[in-house]
Amino acid sequence: MRRALVSVTNKDGIVEFCQGLVQLGFEIVSTGGTLSKLQEAGIAAIAIDDVTGFPEILDGRVKTLHPKVHGGLLFRRDLPEHVATVQEHDIQPIDLVCVNLYEFEKALKAGKPMEDMIENIDIGGPSMIRSAAKNFKDVLIVTDPADYPSVLDALQEKTDDENFRLNLAYKAFSTTGAYDAMISRYFAGVVGDDFPDILNISLKKSEHLRYGENSQQRANAYVDGFVQESLLDYEQLNGKEISFNNVNDLYGAIAVVREFGDQIVTAAIKHSTPCGVAIAETGYESYMKAYKADPQSIFGGIVAVNYKIDKATALEMKKIFLEIVAAPDFDDDALEVLRTKKNLRVLKLNNLGARDAKYDIKYLEGKVLVQDINTKMIDEMKVVTHAKPTQEQLSDMEFGMKVVKFVKSNAICIVKNGVTLAIGGGQTSRVWALENAIHNNPDKDFHGAVLASDAFFPFNDCVQVAVDAGMTSIIQPGGSVRDQDSIDLCNEHNIPMVFSGFRHFRH
């Protein structure tokens, strides 16, 4: 008779699975709570200590770590010396293992104390999984309840061939690898090692994407289970499948919106760069200002907001082609309006204020760059000119820095009254970024506007261009060896300039 060893934390479907195994001629061996559940369901399961001849000890810490378990899993059926050894020691073969692990991730997300976290580190489970997976040619290893039906079908139809078993083993090693990575990162946090020598990050596929940056590139989205609340946790309410570029642009839009806290804000993004951002007293007003900031670039772009979208705003959004509209909530009639555009992706944001993610990671063909996420905005608002900014100018300076932080370097943002007038980014020269921003918006009146830069001015040419265009205040990080040149030119034109202390390169 074939034997199955079953010990699961997630007991969904386990009774039905074991009933199916019994019908197929399996004898069930089990442990602890799983054993009780199976016996309550009328399944004549055998206790693990009846197999090992040794009781479960240390509050269940030791129950399956025994030669009669691992010998039954690891011996090769095609080697006579292995067969002879297990017969000599009265070790029964184990032909199937069904195990899932203590819920370490669940305990982590529940904020359990360290003592509880340690007790949620599974030892016997990973050991059995690895033993069975190593010997996959002889042992079926089942770690996912979603696989119960296919395993029963394969056993019934006798299609549990080597390839089928290999795929289950691959999944099993992925499971234990992810589990150990989670534990490693937990202890890295406990000891305060932000950038460990071995950085274990395990990612789980969350959704298939239509394609990558280009249609010839395949793409999928993955989630980091260690991040408890993701900024990109959304529910899709309408529209076609999300693409790689959609997700990348969406992140930029939501990240901009998050910078503004409780202020009502709309951010429009095109090719991962802000093209219109505005704050206002109402969501409708905020959207209309953001749209009018750059009605050309917003076409085919992504709009993210931090307010509940009403019908009036939805009707305006419907007028143009947008790839995505993302918001924390929608009025029912607003959602009805947006759903009339069948391809428009409508996303409900679940964690707009999330700050759990720790790393900004760039994977460069085998070389991985890891840095902190850029969460700091301004060190201090240091006025470096004779002229002092007004309160209105200071507000626009802060607004400008929040936006320019998300523009590709070299980056320039021109703002007035809580609205972006022009944005220039991705240039190899800072003055070109400024000149492009002005040139691309010939209908805009820049008199009285604030100029914000993501990095310092190496020369005073940006100040001169800003003065010529009518701008009347400037904010930049400072730090150039030629800062004084820019300060002097500002003083000559009686323009206040503020140093923020932090640069915001975005490459």
- Give me the active site residues, please: 134, 271
Cα separations in angstroms, 272 against 72, 248, 256, 275, 502: 55, 7, 11, 9, 22
How far apart (Å, rounded) are the C-alpha atoms in residues 334 and 340? 10
Distance CA 254, CA 268 (A): 10
Contact 380, 501 (CB under 8 A): yes
State phi, psi for 473 to the nearest 5 degrees.
Answer: -160, 155
DSSP letters of 432-499? HHHHHHHHT-TT---TTPEEEESS--SSSHHHHHHHHHT--EEEE----TTHHHHHHHHHHTT--EEE
Integer Cα distance of 74 and 62 in angstroms: 19
- Residue 200's SS3 state is coil
Tally of CB atoms within 10 A around 21: 25
User: How far apart, in whole angstroms, are the C-alpha atoms of residue 26 and residue 92?
Assistant: 13
CA gap 61, 46 in Å, rounded = 19
What residues form DSSP beta bridges with 29?
A: 5, 46
Residues 460 and 488 sit within 8 Å (Cβ to Cβ)? yes
Q: Which of 235, 247, 245, 205 is nearest to 222 (CA)?
A: 205
Neighbours of 25 (CB within 10 A): 9
Positive or negative torsion for Cα 107, 112, 115, 116? negative
Side chain identity at residue 439, one-letter code: H
Whose tokens are 């143009």? That residue is: 320
